[in-house]
Amino acid sequence: MVGSAPNTDVRLDRVTKRFGDFTAVDDLSLEIRQGEFFSLLGPSGCGKTTTLRMIGGFEQVTAGSVFIGEREVTGLPAFRRDANTVFQSYALFPHLDVFENVAFGLRRRKVSTDDIRQQVEGMLKLVELPDYGRRKPSQLSGGQQQRIALARALVNHPRVLLLDEPLGALDLKLRKQMQVELKRIQGEIGITFIFVTHDQDEAMTMSDRIAVMRNGRIEQLGTPEQLYETPRTEFVAGFLGVSNLLDAEVAVRGERFIEAHLSDGTRLRAPADGLDGTRLVRIGVRPEKLRVLPVTDAAEPHDSDSNLLEGTVLDASYIGVSTQYLVETADGTRLTVYAQNLETSGANEGLADGQRVRLAWKPQHTFVIARNTGDEGDDQAKEDETKDHA
């Protein structure tokens, strides 16, 4: 087995975990860089927690190997791994006060009393609860418990910090606040964070890189921007934000762009990279990339490069920062458009239901997904559609 590259903090090498007949994590490989904020994102039950628990040592792998730093830790128990965990339910020790909770790891490692006092107090300051040492966990609010759980893990200066949906129990406002807080703390101490979440917004705002998981495998790995701009599968396209997908067939393969035809003959261009020889594809575009133009407008305001698609407005709803249109194309596909309300009396004002319009967008804002018939009936994907994209 080859050792990890020196700037890799965690490496999973073809890791599989089975519970009886059920495969929770399936032949998964992953490298997480030093100091990175890395997220495992996916719907409930896709194996995020199991993956995290195998790194922490709470679950042993069925096959494959786990490395933390240069050291292989496969088979080692949790207390012998250089990783600490922030549990979803916080798991603070109810019989110990805040100080002793934070000091727990240091005491096990026989740190001197003076050092313990100093480090615990420093850590309580970092999480902005300096005078809470003598309180019991039950006397703290959810957000405060969350901070103490973080302090309790970080005080040990582990190589990696594992966080399993740590903000899941907080209300929305506190959640946003803690997201910022977590990023600040990570920046200050520079420890690698591996963050599990099923919330795409949370993963997008916080992470350097995200692994989107599905059925125990990594569906796509990349920066938030890569995942959003060029999703490689329909699942990723649907899981991260809203996307419009159009069934098409590749007609011309250029060096930088391909040309694909819709069933009504409309020609659309999209970047060629990342696409193999597949002929049946889906052309995707995000709602905010689309511009709505009146079909009567003879003078083309766009460079001729733009993809153009005709349709009928089914619904227009004004939602303050933008107006949201639902447009139906010739083949019955419905597209969502977010048009920014740039002027108080918008340029698109007067677009009524039933009006014919033309949608325009740039080819480089387009992504292409191989049309995979096997995916169509997948329950998992359907389940994820229910996610709140508001």
Partner 1 sequence: MGWLRRHRSIIPYLFLLPGGLWLIVFFVLPLLTTLSVSLQEGSLGSGYRLTFNFAIFPESIMRWNEQFVRSLQYGLIVTILTMLIGYPMAYTIAFRGGRYKSALLLLVIMPFFTSFIIRTISWKFILADEGFVLGTLKDWGVLDPSFRLLATPMAVISGITYNFLPFVVLPLYVALERIDPKLIEAANDLYATRRQAFLKVTLPLSMPGVFAASLLSFIPAVGDYLNAELLGSRQTTMIGNVIQRLFLVNNDYPQASALSLVLMVGILVSIFIYMRVLRGQELGT
Ligand X SMILES: Nc1ncnc2c1ncn2[C@@H]1O[C@H](COP(=O)(O)OP(=O)(O)O)[C@@H](O)[C@H]1O
Under the rule (CB under 6 A), what is the footprint of ligand X?
Answer: 19, 22, 24, 42, 44-50
Total binding residues for Mg ion by CB under 5 A? 1
49 near Mg ion, judged by CB under 5 A: yes
Q: With CB cut-offs between 5 and 8 Å by kind, which of ligand X, partner 1, Mg ion, none does residue 46 bind? A: ligand X
CB-nearest residue to ligand X: 49
Taking the complex as a whole, the smallest distance from the CB of residue 154 to ligand X amounts, in Å, to: 22
Task: Considering the complex, state which of residue 115 and residue 297 has its C-beta at the smaller distance from partner 1.
Answer: 115
277 near partner 1, judged by CB under 8 A: no
DSSP 57: T
Taking the complex as a whole, the smallest distance from the CB of residue 214 to partner 1 amounts, in Å, to: 26
330 near partner 1, judged by CB under 8 A: no
Question: Under rule CB under 8 A, which residues in 75-134 are in contact with partner 1?
Answer: 77-79, 84-85, 87, 89, 91-96, 104-105, 108-109
Build a one-symbol-per-residue string for 30-59: x at contacts with partner 1 by CB under 8 A, - elsewhere.
--------------------------xxx-
Q: With CB cut-offs between 5 and 8 Å by kind, which of partner 1, Mg ion, ligand X, none does residue 105 bind? A: partner 1
Distance CA 265, CA 330 (A): 10
Q: What are the C-alpha distances in Å from 311 to residues 246, 292, 301? A: 13, 10, 18
Taking the complex as a whole, the smallest distance from the CB of residue 50 to Mg ion amounts, in Å, to: 8
Give the angle subtended at the CA of 378 by the CAs of 337 and 25, to the nearest 5°.
110
Distance CA 49, CA 45 (A): 8
In what side-by-side order are the strands of the sheet with 83-86? 83-86, 160-164, 192-197, 37-41, 209-214, 217-222
Give the 3-state secondary structure of residue 387. coil
Distance CA 227, CA 247 (A): 20
- Residue showing tokens 């709470």: 58
Which residues have CB under 8 Å from 43's CB, separation 6+? 198, 214, 239, 380, 383, 384, 387
H or E segment and range at residue 215: none
Distance CA 339, CA 321 (A): 9
Taking the complex as a whole, the smallest distance from the CB of residue 87 to Mg ion amounts, in Å, to: 11
Q: With CB cut-offs between 5 and 8 Å by kind, which of Mg ion, ligand X, partner 1, none does residue 78 bind? A: partner 1
Task: Considering the complex, state which of residue 17 and residue 289 has its C-beta at the smaller distance from ligand X.
Answer: 17
Give the 3-state secondary structure of residue 58. coil
DSSP letters spanning 3-29: PPPTTEEEEEEEEEEEETTEEEEEEEE
> Are residues 106 and 117 in contact, defined by beta-carbon separation less than 8 angstroms?
no
Q: With CB cut-offs between 5 and 8 Å by kind, which of Mg ion, partner 1, ligand X, none does residue 42 bind? A: ligand X
Q: With CB cut-offs between 5 and 8 Å by kind, which of partner 1, ligand X, Mg ion, none does residue 173 bind? A: none
Q: Determine how β-strand 356-361 pairs with β-strand 291-294.
A: antiparallel
Question: Under rule CB under 8 A, which residues in 288-307 are in contact with partner 1?
Answer: none
H or E segment and range at residue 224: helix 224-229
The stretch near partner 1 (CB under 8 A) out of 72-80, 192-200, 214-222, 332-340 is: 72-80
Task: Considering the complex, state which of residue 29 and residue 89 has its C-beta at the smaller distance from partner 1.
Answer: 89
Taking the complex as a whole, the smallest distance from the CB of residue 330 to ligand X amounts, in Å, to: 40
User: Which residues are bridge partners to 268 per DSSP?
Assistant: 260
308 near partner 1, judged by CB under 8 A: no
Let me know how long the chain is: 390
Q: With CB cut-offs between 5 and 8 Å by kind, which of partner 1, Mg ion, ligand X, none does residue 318 bind? A: none
Q: With CB cut-offs between 5 and 8 Å by kind, which of partner 1, Mg ion, ligand X, none does residue 137 bind? A: none
Binding site for partner 1 (CB under 8 A): 56-58, 77-79, 84-85, 87, 89, 91-96, 104-105, 108-109, 152-153, 156
